[in-house]
Copies of this chain bind each other. A is one copy, B any other.
Amino acid sequence: MTAEALSPTLSTDELDLIDAYWRAANYLSVGQIYLLDNPLLREPLAPEHVKPRLLGHWGTTPGLNLIYAHLNRVICDRDVNVIYITGPGHGGPGLVANAYLEGTYSEVYSGISEDTEGMRKLFRQFSFPGGIPSHVAAETPGSIHEGGELGYALVHAYGAAFDNPDLVVACVIGDGEAETGPLAASWHSNKFLNPVTDGAVLPILHLNSYKIANPTVLARIPQEELESLMFGYGYRPITVAGDDPANVHQQLATALDEAFDQIAAIQRAARLDGEQGRPLWPMLVLRTPKGWTGPQKVDGKKVEGTWRSHQVPLSGTHTNPEHRAQLEEWMRSYRPEELFDEDGALLPELRAFAPRGQRRMSANPHANGGLLLKDLDLPRFTDYAVPVDDPASESTEATRVLGTFLRDVIARNADRFRLMGPDETASNRLSATLEATDKAWLAEVTPDDENLGPEGRVMEVLSEHLCQGWLEGYLLTGRHGLFNCYEAFIHIIDSMLNQHAKWLNSSREMPWRAPIASLNYLLTSHVWRQDHNGASHQDPGFIDHVANKRPEVVRVYLPPDANTLLSVADHCLRSRHYVNVIVAGKQPALNYLDMDSAIAHCTRGLGIWEWASNTTGEPDVVLACAGDIPTLETVAAADILRRRLPELKVRVVNVVDIMRLQPESEHPHGLSDREFDSIFTTDKPIIFAYHGYPWLIHRLTYRHANHAQLHVRGFKERGTTTTPFDMVMLNDLDRFHLVMDVIDRVDSLGSSVAGLRQEMADARLAARRYTREHGEDDPAISGWTWDPDYQAPSLSQDTLSEHDR
């Protein structure tokens, strides 16, 4: 349907006012892109007033400014709580301009005052060395959404709206962005939005018809298909279209009134009248020209309304007098003298048009979520501990234990914690959480369904993009959460992680942005236990990806068992402004540490396991491990060594926090050389069994003294559908191979152990043969446990050689 009213929504005065406000924002936007000086054009524009390098995006900006002005009217009229997310966030000058018009910019950045000098600085700093980015970014008051990478505006909007019943998130989606996969899937987020306890999202699909150099798909399908598409996505579209400002102002005002009326009606019906089910939420389609109100033609070519207005429509303003004249004419067309006073301040009647205080979209605390962040009410994680009398003697599914803890985290924090997962929460053994809550679901429910409901705190959709984006939006607006995911497929959101990590990193340096809760990942169904799915589900490389981010914001934990997982999870949920990656298995696996030991071990991040070592002194070899399966194989290898080479002094080191392996100069968790050397020695061979790609361990440790003696086993991209032990053998990470590595590296053993080496090689062959014949691992291997009562016979080296011969 198209927004048409019998009598115009805006009176002439209102129309004039809103248009003037829009012109002011447009004026400031163009000024940022072009001007170094002479901000109010009080003198004719000269070359020295213009930036030598013109960097910015004009095309989308007038549309963003138009919507902003109209939302201001709605906010004032209705006293509603609105934040503004702009998918086309490369229209940065527009959002900066509006924050400046509202006074927020000067409040946050005191140097940028509301006068001519402040405006000059505002213009100069934009996309200028030492200044601000060209996109909407953490630097921009009122934003939770970096405008660089396209695709995540709408999913962030939904994340912001969850559990914020009074909030309306207005979300502009550019028609370029609308072509991305994540955005195309995000529309369906309405099946997960509860009209009672969540806020509303108002998507505004802005069709200006062009991307950088091409028309856009959604602008070039018939209106009938477009409306069908939106209805198919579960929305009631309202279209606004035109290129005459006065007419579009009226249409847009009418459309927004209609949309906000519908939102209010939906919420009233759900909240007061108890209406059930999923409503059809309104959305806007706005068709206006790209680069609207900018130069129509430049050098004889049409610019307004085409892709040529995407970035900087007039590129020669520094040297080409004709371009400069055109720029001056363009800027003067906004009639700055009617907008700003003698001193360069916005005229009072325009200032009065904007909302006040926290109603300003640029000052809304939801867009600076740390301000609203409340600590989680966490149960004592120690209450969920698995009893461990003897190390490595009994098995537990670590994530299942974590699930009981998360169940109670959810129960105690129903307004501020969500668990995301791409249809894998049960598969990842976290189903205890469903004792405390449902899975969020507003679509149809049938009698066979279980655990679905509108208020569910567990969110499941088969899209890692949506899980990640919802959680980002939720965290950025001051709440908490955890994303549980199959390890291999977390790569789907590599690029989203990049952007979030960049946001965390740059906002760390902004005192006015309060820290937010960390982005927590639980990666399970990991590379070593893909018995069902094989190679396609085997990739431990997300850790490598994360390790490339700024050390100030990334943490990676590989708890080896259930109690360490609990301890790590508690720590991560309490932390702020990090990306925490936890990798832990879901299959039954041995417990090594009782809770006290687990806490001590996790606090150190790594440590010597004396119970698995056969010396408390200087070792002959260090067996190090990180990750549950490598830990199992390492401890099993230590068991073989204590029985077969009892005089070999073996130290077992387990690493939970792999950032500890870096030098302290490289990461806040890094060990000093002295600490590293005291654990790993300076000259003894280290056989390191690692969960992921082995070279990551080299990359973290290459500056340490003993790096030359470090030998790492890990995943070598050898995978398939097979048994657990066959998988570790395929990658030479198995206990037998680790023993062979020890034999090969400890020179002092000499040739006396050739027999044992051969025995290990034979054991590998036998294990493989067993597996291929029986379709499962030899129980002697899969059922191995550590015997705490084993006493090494006091064999001399001679006896040993005898034995091996």
Contact = CB atoms under 8 A, between A and B. Distances in A.
Interface stretch (A174-182, A249-257, A646-654): A174-182
A182 B181 contact: yes
A33 to B, nearest CB: 11
Q: Is the interface of A mostly helix, strand, loop or mixed?
A: loop
Given A213-B425, A494-B494, A545-B541, A775 B443 contact: no
Contacts of A531: 53, 55
Interface in A410-465: 423-427, 439, 441, 443-446, 448-449, 452, 460-463, 465
Nearest to A216: B462
B133 A721 contact: yes
Interface in A305-326: 305-306, 311
Interface stretch (A60-68, A144-152, A568-576): A144-152
Contacts of A59: none
Given A423-B214, A463-B181, A776-B52, A232 B234 contact: no
* Assembly stoichiometry (copies): 2
Contacts of A407: none
Nearest to A444: B220
Interface stretch (A183-191, A637-645, A738-746, A758-766): A183-191
A800 interface: no
Contact of A184 (B185, B214, B226, B427): B185
A668 to B, nearest CB: 15
Contact of A443 (B129, B220, B533, B772): B220
Contacts of A462: 150, 176-177, 179-180, 211, 216
A532 interface: yes
Contact of A726 (B129, B216, B226): B129
Contacts of A544: 544-545, 548
A214 B717 contact: no
A86 to B, nearest CB: 14
A133 B494 contact: no
A595 to B, nearest CB: 30
A424 B771 contact: no
Contacts of A55: 531-532, 721
Contact-residue size bin, chain A (C-beta under 8 Å from the other chain) = 35 or more
Interface string A36-77: 100000000000000111011000000000000000000000
Contact of A534 (B53, B135, B491): B135
B52 A536 contact: no
Given A148-B536, A491-B495, A426 B215 contact: no
Given A181-B463, A217-B461, A463-B181, A536 B502 contact: yes
Given A232-B228, A426-B212, A498-B491, A533 B181 contact: no
Those 8 A-B pairs whose CB atoms lie nearest each other, nearest first: A148-B536, A229-B232, A181-B181, A184-B184, A220-B443, A228-B232, A491-B495, A179-B462
21 contacts: A36-B775, A52-B776, A53-B776, A90-B533, A127-B532, A129-B768, A133-B535, A137-B535, A148-B534, A181-B184, A181-B466, A212-B423, A212-B426, A217-B461, A225-B231, A225-B233, A228-B228, A228-B232, A502-B535, A544-B544, A548-B717
Interface of A: 36, 51-53, 55-56, 90, 127-135, 137, 146-151, 176-177, 179-188, 191, 211-217, 220-222, 225-234, 302, 305-306, 311, 423-427, 439, 441, 443-446, 448-449, 452, 460-463, 465-466, 488-489, 491-492, 494-495, 498-499, 502, 505-506, 531-537, 539, 541, 544-545, 548-550, 693, 695-696, 698-699, 702, 707-708, 717, 720-723, 726, 768, 771-772, 774-776
